[in-house]
Amino acid sequence: MKSFEVAVLGSGLAGLTVALNLADRCRVAIVTKRELLDGASNWAQGGIAAVLASDDSPDSHISDTQIAGAGLCDPETTRYAVEHGKEAIEWLISQGVPFTRDQSSEIGYHLTMEGGHSHRRVIHAADATGHAVQTTLEAKVKAHPNITVLEHHVGIDLITSEKLGLDAPACRGLYALDNRAGRVVTIGADRVVLATGGAGKVYLYTTNPDTATGDGIAMGWRAGCTVANMEFIQFHPTCLYHPHAKSFLISEAVRGEGGVLRLPDGTRFMPEHDERAELAPRDIVARAIDFEMKRRGLDCVFLDITHKSEAFLKEHFPTIHGRCLELGIDIARQPIPVVPAAHYTCGGIQTDHNGLTGLRGLYAVGETAHTGLHGANRLASNSLLECLVFGRSAANHILQQAAEAPVKLPDWDESRVTDADEEIVIAHNWDELRRFMWDYVGIVRTNKRLERAMHRIQLLSEEIHEYYSNFRVTSDLLDLRNLVLTADLIVRCAMRRKESRGLHFSRDYPEQLPEARDTVLRPG
C-alpha cells in the first residue's frame, strides 16, 4: 500500500493547482491515467477569463457569466470565482507562466475577446494557453520533493468507510490499476481530490482527449456523492472538420478577433440566429450551425478569418495556423471547415466553494465538479478560471484539517476473477455507446431519443457489470464502465428537465420555465 496525506486523481490544471498549493506542507500524490500532460487542460487554446483591466469590473464578468448560464449560475459561487480571478492569475504569473505581453496595455499583457464577453478580459499565451500553463506547472511539480507522480495509474474506485466497517461516512483512499505493472495498487490518503476532468469521450465527436471518460464523476457517484446538471454538455461550435485531424479545436478567440461563419456558398448565417452573431454564447452558435447543417444536408460550415493579415494570424494563432497548414488549409487565404463537437461537462459532483463533496475527506475540483459557476452553459474561458480558484480554495481548506487516525486498508481482491477471453466486447460497446449518445443525446433532444438512449444504456450496463464481475480489470474496461455510468447520469438528468435552457434543447419542451432549478441526482 502507498500512503500519502493527500491523493490527487488527475493532472490537469485543477489537480496541479491543488498539489502545488499543498506541497510545502503535505506529502501529495498525483495519480494520472497516462502522462502528466495528457489531460484536457494541456489542449486549452483560448485563455483564462479574469477582471484585470481598469475598464472592466467584477459585476460585468458576473453578468456575462450569468447571461451565458441562462439564469442557472449560482450567484454566490459566481461572485466568488470572479472576485478571486485576479489573484489566481497573479499566482500563475509568479510561477512563471509566459502569457502574451502587450506593452501598450495598462497591465502589460494582451487581453482578447471571446463570445459572450462584454470586455476584453481573456489573458492568454498566444493560442496555446493550456500548454503554456501546464508545462510551467509540470516543471514545478516534478521538482518538488513532497510530490509523487504516479503516471499510468487508472483510478478504479474510492475506498470509503463503508468498505472499512467504520460508522462515520468518509473517504480514505482509492484503488488504481498500475498499467505498467499490470496490477492493482492500494493508495491510502487522509484526503482524496477528484480532478479527472469531464466526459467528452461519451460522444462520437469531441474536442476532448482520450482521457476524458468521466472517471471522477463515476467514482464519486459510486461512493455516494450527489451529482447535478449532467444534462448540460457544451458542444464547442468550431472543431476542425478534416479526416486527418482528430479533435482539433478552432479557438473561440478566432471569432473574437473577427472570424465569420459562412455556408459553403459564402453566405454569412449567424446574424439570422442571434443579434450577437458569431459572438453569441456557445450554445446558441452550436445550435445555429447544427440547424444549418441539418437543413441543408451539409457536412460542415466554414469559419472565415481571411480578412486578417497572415502576420496577424501567425502572431495570434500560431498553433491553429500551423496545424491547418499541415493539413493543406491556409487560413490567411481559405475559410476553415468546422463542425460542433462535445467539449465540456458543465455538471458533475456537487461541491461547495472549497471543493467539498458530501463525503468527508473527498474533494472534487475542475470539470469533475459542479460548483454552480457555469449554470446551463459555460462562458468561454471560465473553465481554467474555475480550476485555479477552486483548486486553491480546496488546498487551503485541506491545510486547515486535522490529520486522520491511520487505518488499515484492504488489498484489492481478484481471487474470483480470470483474464478476459474476448476484448472485442469492450471495443464494440464503446463504439455503440458513443454513436447513440451522439444521435440521441446531442445538441437537439426529444423524449423519444432520450428513451431510446436510456434503453440501450441499461442493456450495456448489465453487460459491463457482468464482465467487470468476472474478469480482471483493464484500462479499457474501466474507461467503458465509467463512460456508461456517466452516460446514464447525463440521460437521467436530461429526462428530468422539462424545458429548454442553455445547452439542453428539447423539441418536446421548447420553452424555458420561469424558475431556474438545478437537476440533482442522489444515489440510492
118: Cβ–Cβ under 8 A, 6 or more apart, which residues? Answer: 60, 63, 64
Q: Of 341, 376, 393, which residue sits at a domain end?
A: 341
CA distance 67 to 130: 25
The one-character DSSP state at 278 is: G
Contact 370, 349 (CB under 8 A): yes
Does residue 45 belong to any structural domain of this protein?
no
CA distance 508 to 13: 38
**What are the distances in angstroms from CA 212 to CA 164, 344, 454?**
30, 10, 21
- The helix (H) or strand (E) run that includes residue 192 is strand 183-194
Contact 47, 121 (CB under 8 A): no
Query: How many whole angstroms from its chain centre is CA 456?
Result: 25
Q: What is the mean pLDDT of the chain?
A: 94
**SS3 readout for 64-108:** HHHHHCCCCCCHHHHHHHHHCHHHHHHHHHHHCCCCCECCCCCCC
Does residue 39 belong to any structural domain of this protein?
no
CA distance 229 to 75: 16
For residues 242 and 333, state if they share a domain. Answer: yes
| Domain total in the chain | 2
Query: What are the pLDDT digits (tens) for 456-491?
Result: 999 999 999 999 998 999 999 999 999 999 999 999
All three cell numbers of 94: 509568479
Query: How many whole angstroms from its chain centre is CA 478?
Result: 19
Gyration radius of the chain over CA positions: 22
For residues 431 and 335, state if they share a domain. Answer: no
Torsion angle defined by CA atoms of residues 383, 56, 259 and 510, in that order, rounded to the nearest 10 degrees: 60
CA distance 86 to 64: 17
Does residue 265 belong to any structural domain of this protein?
yes
Contact 150, 176 (CB under 8 A): yes
Backbone angles phi, psi at 259, to 5 degrees: -60, 140
Q: Classify 194 as helix, strand or coil.
A: strand
Q: Of 341, 364, 390, which residue sits at a domain end?
A: 341
CA distance 363 to 97: 26
306: Cβ–Cβ under 8 A, 6 or more apart, which residues? Answer: 331, 332, 333, 334, 335
Does residue 450 belong to any structural domain of this protein?
yes
| Burial class of 157 by CB neighbour count within 10 A (0 to 12, 13 to 18, 19+) | middle
All three cell numbers of 2: 502507498
Does residue 221 belong to any structural domain of this protein?
no
CA distance 419 to 277: 55
Q: Which of 121, 255, 282, 501 is catalytic?
A: 282
Which CATH number characterizes residue 486's domain?
Answer: 1.20.58.100
For residues 334 and 430, state if they share a domain. Answer: no
Contact 257, 316 (CB under 8 A): yes
Grid-cell match 431510446, residue found? 452
Which CATH number characterizes residue 318's domain?
Answer: 3.90.700.10
Does residue 137 belong to any structural domain of this protein?
no
Does residue 125 belong to any structural domain of this protein?
no
Residue from 441, 496, 203 nearest 342 by CA: 203
Residue from 274, 496, 231 nearest 374 by CA: 231
**Annotation marks residue 79 as catalytic:** no
Grid-cell match 463525503, residue found? 359
CA distance 462 to 425: 13
The pLDDT > 90 percentage for the chain reads 84
CA distance 298 to 187: 50
Q: Of 326, 341, 356, which residue sits at a domain end?
A: 341
**What are the distances in angstroms from CA 480 to CA 16, 57, 199, 483?**
26, 44, 11, 5
Q: How many CA atoms lie within 13 A of 57 on its CB side?
A: 3
Q: In a structure prediction context, what are the per-residue pLDDT tens digits for the chain, which is 524 residues long?
A: 899 999 999 999 999 999 999 999 999 999 999 988 888 788 787 899 999 999 999 999 999 999 999 999 999 999 999 999 999 999 999 999 999 999 999 999 999 998 899 999 999 999 889 999 999 999 999 999 999 999 999 999 999 987 777 778 899 999 999 999 999 999 999 999 999 999 999 998 898 988 999 999 999 999 999 999 999 999 999 999 998 887 788 988 899 999 999 999 999 999 999 999 999 988 899 999 999 998 999 999 999 999 999 999 999 999 999 999 999 999 999 999 999 999 999 999 999 999 999 999 999 999 999 999 999 999 999 999 999 999 999 999 999 999 888 888 999 988 888 887 777 888 899 999 999 999 899 999 999 999 999 999 999 999 999 999 989 999 999 999 999 999 999 999 999 999 999 999 999 999 999 999 999 999 97
Range of the domain at 261: 236-341
Does residue 62 belong to any structural domain of this protein?
no
Backbone angles phi, psi at 434, to 5 degrees: -65, -35
Query: What are the pLDDT digits (tens) for 130-182?
Result: 999 999 999 999 999 999 999 999 999 999 987 777 778 899 999 999 999 99
